[in-house]
């Protein structure tokens, strides 16, 4: 058996300069980008890819001043409660139904919900990412990686050093550049639900134009623009070879479209 259902989530938004997503874009141009998450029904339960913001760092005035004080980057929460809990509830899935987490990388808009899973389920990430995030230096926080989100001895890290299958039908693919251990995901759908699959780029390619025109990602940690283009080309090659859709991670049009497509595909029969 492979993946039998896909539920994409929007866990909030961020208002930010487009140049963060596309190298060389006009820094005055801004986008409101969705914060992605994905639920995949695999053998053994639901696998959650990415966890959104830590709302405490946004709602508490002192914490917001420290972690979200840059006026160029404005996080937007979708509701009054915890964004991950609200998204799961809207999907009819309980937090306790999640049996594993796959983390694309440690940025605050992707790792902020890990506290829900510490001591509960395995968390799949790249060793290079976690080593960087937990390293004895202040560099990660300057790049939007907040140790408070993931420095918990109760987290059951399952660390890869390159590509690895993390669940039946789900392969993490190392796409370093945006961060030192960023990973994207290849999802193989079960023939019983029509087969095919998806390549989920996450922040290896924020926008459709990153993919279509092979434009470098603007936000990078110790990487060149060319390294991010190589990651995009690798994902395009995988998608082409498999005949899968390649989905950018923060595209304001592509992400809601994916949600609608997956809702139609996996709608219960009437």
Answer whether 201's CB lies under 8 Å from 187's CB.
Answer: no
Domain boundaries, the chain: 5-265
Q: Which residues pair with 187 in a beta bridge?
A: 170, 198
User: What predicted TM-score, i.e. pTM, was given to this entire model?
Assistant: 0.97
- Assigned token pair, 127: 């060793």
The arithmetic mean of pLDDT across residues 172-191, rounded, is: 98
At residue 270 the predicted structure's pLDDT band, cuts being 50, 70 and 90, is: low
Burial 177-203 (b: 16+ CB within 10 A, else e): bbbbbbbbbbbbbbeeeeeebbbbbbb
At residue 268 the predicted structure's pLDDT band, cuts being 50, 70 and 90, is: confident
List, for residues 26-76, the tens digit of each pLDDT value. Answer: 989 999 999 999 999 999 899 999 999 999 999 999 999 999 999 999 999
In residues, how long is the chain?
Answer: 270
What is residue 105's predicted lDDT score, i.e. its pLDDT?
A: 98
Residue 224 has pLDDT above 90, yes or no: yes
At residue 136 the predicted structure's pLDDT band, cuts being 50, 70 and 90, is: very high
Residue 219 has pLDDT above 90, yes or no: yes
Note the CATH number of domain 5-265: 3.60.15.10
Answer whether 178's CB lies under 8 Å from 220's CB.
Answer: yes
List, for residues 193-215, the tens digit of each pLDDT value. Answer: 999 999 999 999 999 999 999 99
The C-alpha angle with vertex 120 and arms to 114 and 123, in degrees rounded to 5, equals 50
- Assigned token pair, 38: 């994905």
Q: What is the mean pLDDT of the chain?
A: 97
List, for residues 5-32, the tens digit of each pLDDT value. Answer: 999 999 999 999 999 999 999 989 999 9
Q: Which of 82, 88, 96, 75 is nearest to 33 (CA)?
A: 75
Those residues whose C-beta lies under 8 Å from the C-beta of residue 103, and which sit 6 or more positions away, are: 49, 50, 51, 110, 111, 114, 123, 124, 125, 129, 183
Q: Any idea what DSSP says for residue 74?
A: E
What is residue 106's predicted lDDT score, i.e. its pLDDT?
A: 98
Q: Rg of the Cα trace of the chain?
A: 17
């Amino acid at each position: 058996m492979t993946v039998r259902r896909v539920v994409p989530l929007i866990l909030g938004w961020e208002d930010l300069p487009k140049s963060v997503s596309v190298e060389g874009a006009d820094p005055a141009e801004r986008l409101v980008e969705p914060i992605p998450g994905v639920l995949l029904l695999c053998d053994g339960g639901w696998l959650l890819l990415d966890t959104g913001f830590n709302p405490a760092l946004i709602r508490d005035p002192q914490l917001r001043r420290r972690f979200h004080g840059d006026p160029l980057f404005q996080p937007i929460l979708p509701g009054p409660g915890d964004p991950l809990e609200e998204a799961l509830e809207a999907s009819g899935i309980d937090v306790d139904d999640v049996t594993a987490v796959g983390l694309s990388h440690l940025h605050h808009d992707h790792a902020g919900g890990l506290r829900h899973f510490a001591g509960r389920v395995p968390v799949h990430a790249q060793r290079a990412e976690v080593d960087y995030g937990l390293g004895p230096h202040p560099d990660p926080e300057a790049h939007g990686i907040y140790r408070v989100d993931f420095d918990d001895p109760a987290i059951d890290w399952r660390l890869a050093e390159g590509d690895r299958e993390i669940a039946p039908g789900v392969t993490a693919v190392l796409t370093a550049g945006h961060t030192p251990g960023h990973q994207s995901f290849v999802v193989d759908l079960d023939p019983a639900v029509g087969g095919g699959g998806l390549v989920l780029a996450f922040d290896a390619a924020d926008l459709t134009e990153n993919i279509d025109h092979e434009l470098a990602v603007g936000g990078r940690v110790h990487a060149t623009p060319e390294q991010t283009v190589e990651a995009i080309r690798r994902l395009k090659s995988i998608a082409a070879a498999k005949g899968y859709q390649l989905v950018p991670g923060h595209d304001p049009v592509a992400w809601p479209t994916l949600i609608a497509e997956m809702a139609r595909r996996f709608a219960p029969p009437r």
